[in-house]
A and B are shown apart, each in its own frame.
Chain A
Amino acid sequence: MLELKNISKNFGNFALKNINLNISKGEYFILLGRSGAGKSLLLELIAGLRSPDTGSIYLNGRDITDEKIQKRKAGMVFQDYAIFPHLTVYDNIAYSLKIRRLPRNETDAIVRQMSENVNIAHLLDRRTDDLSGGESQRVAVARALVTSPDIILLDEPMASIDTTLRDDVRRLLRKINEMGITMLHVTHDYSEAVRLAHRVGVIHNGKILQTGSPESVFSKPVNKFVARFAGIQNFYSVEIYRIDGKLVAESGNRKYILPEADYPENGLLIIESNSIGLSVIEQNDRDNCIRGIITELNRAENGYELFVDSGDMFHVVVDKKNLEKLSLKVGQSVFLSFSSNNLRII
């Protein structure tokens, strides 16, 4: 459906470099990246609001690289919605239909149907300057959908939505995608990717680092940046070698047993926080068991997070039950244990 071939664009001190991307029809693709990574710029190139320096853009088999904005059939929902403040909700949604000079009754029918689809039928006569963030979002989506685009481009759709209302917006976006509409959604929020995407891509400094299903990208990140997006906080530069028939990753004074596989001589060892077991007695049945001191203990979304200094600093999560059971506190000596199968080298 959407194909980007070697897209590059210089933009002040920033550059998109050789972006290649393929999105299938009906797919929900999320491009993850920090602010300034080039996500919005890429959307603007696809929508035709800017032109690439090199490369080609294909949409539905058509080369749209030099196509006028108005002809591209790529509907864009801007980060702050960009709904027209001088028009009512009805007129905002009808804007593109009036350009096409559709008969009034046809326009009316389409606007009303679309407003029902996105649950804003009760707002049609309202002016837009006193709508909530969620309502404005729906108006912007409806306005883009009535153009019957080949793809919807969403620029940080949750950015201005209250946390409590994000589920509603996610349901709406899922519903639209289930209607068969291809979506390219850019965000800095990993949880959106996990909840919505069929496939994700991670962009950093103008380059796409990795693409794939959320499971594959976040369970096998290609580098530290991608791993951080998945919430992984435990990274250690290691040298890998074999000793007594076992593969070992050494970081400073610490050695970790690795599962059998082909590894380079040097790499980055990563381990997810929730795969680390914590106890007050040594666990001799685990591949890896190390001693450390709790240096920090904080509430987290699903329990508590601890930082344990064992020579390497570990980030560990525990639930409230275990925290109380083990009477964990700062300064306490604890044992961290994890299976070699939970270790990955990137």
Chain B
Amino acid sequence: MDRRSTFHWIILVLSSLVLLFILAPLIGMVLDTSPAEFFQTVKDEEVQDSVWLTLSVAFMATLIFSFMAIPFAWLMARYNFPGKRIVQGLIDLPIVLPHSAAGIALLGFISREGLLGKAADAVGLNLVGNPVGIALAMAFVSLSFLINAARDGFAAVPERLEKAAMNLGASPMRMFFTVSLPLTWRNIASGFIMMFARGMSEFGAIVIIAYHPMTAPVLIYERFNQFGLSYARPASVFFILVALVIFIFIRIISTKAN
């Protein structure tokens, strides 16, 4: 047999095993859920509220933090400064932190004894057990995806285009909005989607910050803990399907605009 062909077969088999590893549990879960169980879960108000909470808070967290993350990404792409590598390491830190540890860290920050918690308390807001707290947890663990994607996008924009814009009379802000940002939107969109998806699926940090109101991952865990696998499974299938539909929808939109 041709050696090259054998190599391709090996690659094919290994790739299939990886795909199977991802798909098999998911397909198994769907097949183990009866249509009746599924539709009963879909109609369950607690499940609906939980899914809606998860999606809306993840979206708002991503949207609000993107206003800070995107200019920060531009700075990281364009400027060299002392300690830049340390700053980049800090950006990546939430990815490597255990999520429950991240939750504990955040709890200290947003509880009434913490810096942000005190400020919130002053306006009558308790961040712990609040969707705002959930949003902060989601953003904490997922911000790296948006910053890094946007940073890579800005770095790929030739600096001479920005120089040309300024030579034509554009202020730095105008240059950013009319040249840098439009040329990076694909990377930003991709980073936005990843940040949203990652935030949506967060469990470990959220369960520390805000067990209630329950996001979908927390609800699934609660059901598993209290009533076992068969009770948690339909909610899992529903949430995964919703997440998949949204994910594909956003991807299609960004691809079409591309």
Of the listed stretches A73-81, A162-170, A285-293, A306-314, name the one at the interface; the rest are far from the partner chain. A73-81
**B interface residues, how many (CB within 8 angstroms):** 17
Q: Is there contact, CB below 8 Å, between B174 and A99?
A: yes
Of the listed stretches A57-65, A82-90, A205-213, A240-248, name the one at the interface; the rest are far from the partner chain. A82-90
Contact of B165 among A47, A95, A144 (CB under 8 A): A95
Which residue in chain A gives the minimum CB-CB distance to B166?
A69
Q: Is there contact, CB below 8 Å, between B169 and A147?
A: yes
Contact mask B166-209 → A, CB, 8 Å, 1/0? 11111100100011001100000000000000000000000000
CB within 8 Å of B: which A23-76 residues: 44, 47-49, 69-70, 74-76
Answer whether residue A96 sits at the interface, using C-beta atoms and an 8 A cutoff: yes
Given the known A-B contacts A82-B160, A86-B183, are A76 and B167 also in contact in the complex, defined by CB atoms under 8 Å?
yes
Contact partners of A95 in chain B: CB under 8 A: 165, 168, 170, 178
Contact mask B70-104 → A, CB, 8 Å, 1/0? 00000000000000000000000000000000000
- Bound form: Cα–Cα A144–B167 in Å: 9
Given the known A-B contacts A84-B179, A86-B183, A99-B174, are A69 and B167 also in contact in the complex, defined by CB atoms under 8 Å?
yes
Q: Is there contact, CB below 8 Å, between B183 and A49?
A: no
Which residue in chain B gives the minimum CB-CB distance to A50?
B163
Which residue in chain B gives the minimum CB-CB distance to A80?
B160
Closest CB in chain A relative to B165 CB, distance in Å? 7
- Bound form: Cα–Cα A28–B97 in Å: 62
Answer whether residue B60 sits at the interface, using C-beta atoms and an 8 A cutoff: no
Given the known A-B contacts A86-B182, A86-B183, are A78 and B164 also in contact in the complex, defined by CB atoms under 8 Å?
yes
**A interface residues, how many (CB within 8 angstroms):** 23
Q: Is there contact, CB below 8 Å, between B183 and A70?
A: no
Contact partners of B246 in chain A: CB under 8 A: none
Which residue in chain B gives the minimum CB-CB distance to A76?
B167
Answer whether residue A143 sits at the interface, using C-beta atoms and an 8 A cutoff: yes
Q: Chain B binding site: helix, strand, loop or mixed by DSSP?
A: helix
Which residue in chain B gives the minimum CB-CB distance to A143?
B168
Which of A80, A95, A96, A147 has the most chain B CB atoms closer than 10 A to its own CB?
A95
- Bound form: Cα–Cα A144–B165 in Å: 10
Q: Is there contact, CB below 8 Å, between A76 and B169?
A: no
Q: Is there contact, CB below 8 Å, between B168 and A99?
A: yes
Q: Is there contact, CB below 8 Å, between B164 and A100?
A: no
Contact mask B50-61 → A, CB, 8 Å, 1/0? 000000000000
Answer whether residue B158 sits at the interface, using C-beta atoms and an 8 A cutoff: yes
Answer whether residue B161 sits at the interface, using C-beta atoms and an 8 A cutoff: yes
Contact partners of B170 in chain A: CB under 8 A: 70, 95, 99
Contact of B169 among A44, A80, A83, A96 (CB under 8 A): A96
- Bound form: Cα–Cα A76–B167 in Å: 7
- Bound form: Cα–Cα A78–B171 in Å: 19
Q: Is there contact, CB below 8 Å, between A70 and B166?
A: yes
Q: Is there contact, CB below 8 Å, between A70 and B160?
A: no
Closest CB in chain A relative to B58 CB, distance in Å? 29
Given the known A-B contacts A47-B167, A49-B167, are A82 and B182 also in contact in the complex, defined by CB atoms under 8 Å?
no
- Bound form: Cα–Cα A95–B167 in Å: 11
Closest CB in chain B relative to A257 CB, distance in Å? 54
Q: Is there contact, CB below 8 Å, between B169 and A70?
A: yes
Closest CB in chain B relative to A198 CB, distance in Å? 24
Contact of A82 among B158, B169, B171, B174 (CB under 8 A): B158
Closest CB in chain B relative to A277 CB, distance in Å? 50
Closest CB in chain B relative to A48 CB, distance in Å? 8
Closest CB in chain B relative to A138 CB, distance in Å? 15
Closest CB in chain A relative to B168 CB, distance in Å? 4
Contact partners of A78 in chain B: CB under 8 A: 160, 163-164
Contact partners of A82 in chain B: CB under 8 A: 158, 160-161, 163-164
Contact partners of B174 in chain A: CB under 8 A: 99
Closest CB in chain A relative to B220 CB, distance in Å? 43
Contact mask A133-169 → B, CB, 8 Å, 1/0? 0000000000110010000000000000000000000
Q: Is there contact, CB below 8 Å, between A76 and B183?
A: no
Contact partners of B158 in chain A: CB under 8 A: 82
Contact partners of B161 in chain A: CB under 8 A: 82, 84
- Bound form: Cα–Cα A70–B167 in Å: 6
- Bound form: Cα–Cα A99–B170 in Å: 7
Contact partners of B182 in chain A: CB under 8 A: 86
Provide 29 A-B residue pairs closer than 8 Å at the C-beta atoms, listed in order of the A residue.
A44-B163, A49-B166, A49-B167, A69-B163, A70-B166, A70-B169, A70-B170, A70-B171, A75-B168, A78-B163, A80-B160, A82-B158, A82-B164, A83-B164, A84-B164, A84-B165, A85-B183, A86-B182, A95-B165, A95-B178, A96-B168, A96-B169, A99-B168, A99-B169, A99-B174, A100-B169, A144-B168, A147-B168, A147-B169
The 8 lowest CB-CB distance pairs between A and B, nearest first, are: A82-B164, A96-B168, A99-B169, A82-B160, A69-B166, A70-B169, A86-B182, A76-B167
Further 10 A-B residue pairs, CB within 8 A, beyond A49-B167, A144-B168, A147-B169 = A49-B163, A69-B166, A70-B166, A70-B170, A78-B163, A78-B164, A84-B161, A85-B183, A86-B183, A100-B169
